[in-house]
Amino acid sequence: HFPLTLESATRSQTSVYFCAS
């Protein structure tokens, strides 16, 4: 499994992408 920090960063980026859309 990925580190919690990396998972958190990925989630943040995904949220940003959704907001940008």
Indicate the SS3 state at residue 21: coil
User: Would you call 20 helix, strand, or coil by DSSP?
Assistant: helix
**pTM of the predicted model over 0.85:** no
Contacts for 2 with CB less than 8 Å, ≥ 6 apart: 10
What pLDDT was estimated at residue 5?
77
What pLDDT is recorded for position 1? 53
Q: So what's the pLDDT on residue 2?
A: 57
Assigned token pair, 6: 């990396």
3-state helix, strand and coil shares in percent for the chain, rounded to the nearest 5: 80, 0, 20
Cα–Cα distance measured from residue 21 to residue 16, given in angstroms and rounded to the nearest whole number: 9
pLDDT tens readout for residues 1-21: 556 777 777 887 877 666 677
